[in-house]
Amino acid sequence: MLISTGLGNALNEQVGHEFGASLQYVSIAAFFESRNLHQLSTLFFKQSEEEREHALKLVDYLLKTGCQVRIPALPAPTSGFASEEEAVNLACQWEINVTGQFNALMRQAVAEQDFLSQAFLAWFVTEQLEEVSSMTRLLDLVRRAGNNLLVVEAYLVHGE
């Protein structure tokens, strides 16, 4: 194996977090679709796919380094949100938590002087800046829009 058993285990756990994020974003997307907020729904379906791709990228790395892939059981995603703000806030907090998870993985790779894993994880660490930034911006927009979420929908169509 090209990486330690401990880091392999931690990466397998992260695969579960990424698949969990994908499911959570499907749940959020469905919530927005049920509210006829198609642009927000589309955004979260896209986010779900990105999280799935992240999980598969981790799986590919585990396989290439000779680790056994063990996808953990996933908890059910949260559904039935009280408000649109609550749904976006959950996504924002999720991305902040994932950032902490990737930072911990990077710390482990650094401590083990595992340069291959550090190079691999650098992409995820950088990606999390964009993920947290975009969710934070979306949460701010939803909060400022209040009950007028059609403004957010229009913003998502026309961009910044």
Of 10, 2, 4, residue with least CA distance to 105: 10
The enclosing domain of 51 has a CATH number of: 1.20.1260.10
Residue 73: DSSP 8-state: P
How far apart, in whole angstroms, are the C-alpha atoms of residue 78 and residue 90? 9
pLDDT at 96: 98
How far apart, in whole angstroms, are the C-alpha atoms of residue 116 and residue 102? 15
Could you read off the pLDDT of 98-137 as tens digits, one per residue? 999 999 999 999 999 999 999 999 999 999 999 999 999 9
Query: Is the pLDDT reported for residue 51 higher than 80?
Result: yes
Q: Decide: 103 and 125 in contact? Cβ < 8 Å.
A: yes
Residues 6+ apart with CB under 8 A from 86: none
How far apart, in whole angstroms, are the C-alpha atoms of residue 100 and residue 106? 10
**Cα four-point dihedral sign 46, 47, 51, 57:** positive
Could you read off the pLDDT of 84-106 as tens digits, one per residue? 999 999 999 999 999 999 999 99
Split into its structural domains, the chain has a count of: 1
pTM: 0.94
| Average pLDDT along the chain | 96
Query: Is the pLDDT reported for residue 146 higher than 80?
Result: yes
Q: Where are the alpha helices (DSSP H) in the chain?
A: 5-34, 38-64, 84-111, 115-145, 150-158
Range of the domain at 110: 5-158
User: pLDDT class for 160, splitting at 50, 70, 90?
Assistant: low
pLDDT at 147: 84
How far apart, in whole angstroms, are the C-alpha atoms of residue 65 and residue 112? 15
